[in-house]
Structure formats: C-alpha cells, structure tokens
Amino acid sequence: MPQVINVQIDQKIQEKNDLIAGRIRQKRLDLNIPMIDIMGSVGSGKTSVLEYFSREFAKNQKFLVINGDLATDIDAQRISRFGSKCIQINTGRGCHLMAFQIEKALTTINLEKFDFIFVENVGNLICPSSTDVGADKKITVTSVTEGPYVFRKHPVTFRMSDLAILNKVDLASAMDIDVKEIIKGSNELYPQLEVVPTSTKTGEGMEVFAKKIGLSIN
Ligand SMILES: Nc1nc2c(ncn2[C@@H]2O[C@H](COP(=O)(O)OP(=O)(O)OP(=O)(O)O)[C@@H](O)[C@H]2O)c(=O)[nH]1
Ligand SMILES: [Mg+2]
C-alpha cells in the first residue's frame, strides 16, 4: 500500500530528526546556550526582529543566527551587518529547517563563543511548527498586514508556539486592524499563548518581547 509506505518513511524521518534534535539540545545544555526557533509567514518581520535584537541588545551578548530560506543569503547578510554571526541554509524546495541542517551548521563554528542562538525558520505558518530543531522555545512572528484571521486559520502553529508577537502595529490603522481585538481572539483560542504587540520600526514592544525570551537588555 503506497500510503502505508509513505507513513513509515515519514515516521523514520521524524524519528531520526528527533534524535538529532535531542543531541543538539544536550550539547547546548552542556554549554548553557539558549536557542529560539522563530517561525512566521513570509514577510512577517522575522529578519527585522533579529536585526533589531542585534542592533539594540548585542552589547553584552553574542548572537548566532541560523537563517533558513529556499534561496539566497539575503537575510544572513542583513543581520550580519549588525555584528551577529549568521549561517544561511538554503533548503531548495524544503518548507522548513530540519535538525540535521542545524547540527551541520553548528559543526562549522565554535559554539562556546556564543550566548544565544536564533533559528530563523523558512517563512510559512505550516511546516516549521511540526519539526523539532533542538530549540528551547518556538516563537511565532505574525503581523497586522496578514489580516485578522491568521490566529484562527493556523491552530497547529499557535498551539506549538511558546510565545507570539503581533508585529507591524505601526501599520494597524492603515490595515484597518484592531490590535486589541486580535489579541483577545487569540487569547480565547489559545489561553496558554501570550501575544506581544510589536513594531520593529518604532521599537514598540521589542524590549518586552526580548525579556520574555530571556535576552539581557543592555
Ligand atoms: N511598518 C513596518 N514594517 C516592518 C516591520 N517589521 C518588518 N517590516 C518590513 O516588512 C518587510 C518584511 O520584513 P522581513 O523582516 O524581511 O520579514 P521576514 O519574516 O524575515 O520574511 P522572510 O524571511 O522572507 O520570510 C520588510 O520590508 C520590513 O522592513 C514593522 O514592525 N513595521
Ligand atoms: Mg527573513
């Protein structure tokens, strides 16, 4: 039965992925380096968040960023301008990063030099939520320009998220979006999920967000 075979292959891939993710987690625990997996739609502001963190909060801490995109190293170039070390992974057709790719990236650097690791996952709200990349937390970056229904339409991602931000609140009135109403709707659907309103342009909410994921603010 082709379908049964497919399920078995998927399970094997998943099991192998989880094994590698466990290795990454153990290595980080030994070195005491936190790691956050940042998920979110194309263009929601994941790279902008990491540019902001690298510009504002990297005085006393060194960030390692692993960027996932189908093609180009644009995001790695953008963030590294602010001093963070970036490793770009091109996934080709892959819609999310996998643990083996992260483990491979980590072998290319001396991990001990870093205080914090960020993974910027491939932009979409579907695939990255189901794959463990060995992070401590999964964070979702959503934005007011995605419209009012994102939280309702993507239950898996928001259930798998430890925290979410609603970014680009500076554009809320132009987009005819009621930020409080969207957060209230999310709270009803996902009572465990905190949603922080942010803008990487004005800086609104960025310190609150940074503190919640354990960055030290300098
Ligand atoms: N007005 C406004 N624009 C923002 C904000 N955050 C990001 N942007 C803009 O939104 C666009 C997309 O931002 P990125 O940071 O590249 O988004 P991304 O999630 O990394 O996108 P992908 O990596 O392609 O999935 C850029 O033009 C940013 O300048 C914000 O808070 N307010
Ligand atoms: Mg990006």
Q: Which atom of ligand 1 is nearest to the CA of 75?
A: 23
| Strand spans (E) along 129-191 | 137-143, 163-167
How confident is the model over 35-49, as pLDDT tens digits?
999 999 999 999 999
3's tokens: 């379908």
Ligand 1, atom 30: closest residue by C-alpha: 168
CA distance 62 to 84: 7
Domain boundaries, the chain: 2-212
Rg (CA), the chain: 17
Q: What is the pTM of this model?
A: 0.95
For residue 142 and ligand 1, the question of a CB distance below 6 A is answered with: no
- Does any ligand 1 atom lie closer than 6 A to the CB of residue 44? yes
Nearest atom in ligand 1 to 44's CA: 19
> Which pLDDT tens digits describe the chain residue by residue (218 residues)?
666 545 566 788 999 999 999 999 999 999 999 999 999 999 999 999 999 999 999 999 999 999 999 999 999 999 999 999 999 999 999 999 999 999 999 999 999 999 999 999 999 999 999 999 999 999 999 999 999 999 999 999 999 999 999 999 999 999 999 999 999 999 999 999 999 999 999 999 999 999 999 998 87
Right CATH for 2-212 from 3.40.50.300, 3.40.50.1220, 3.30.2320.80, 1.20.120.1200:
3.40.50.300
120 is written with which tokens? 């910027």
Please choose, from the candidates 143, 123, 105, the residue with its C-alpha nearest in 3D space to the C-alpha of residue 38.
123
Q: Quick check: CB of 45 below 6 Å from ligand 1? A: yes
> How far is residue 14's CA from residue 27's CA, in Å, rounded to a whole number?
20
Q: What is the spatial distance between Cα 161 and Cα 69, in angstroms, rounded to a whole number?
A: 20
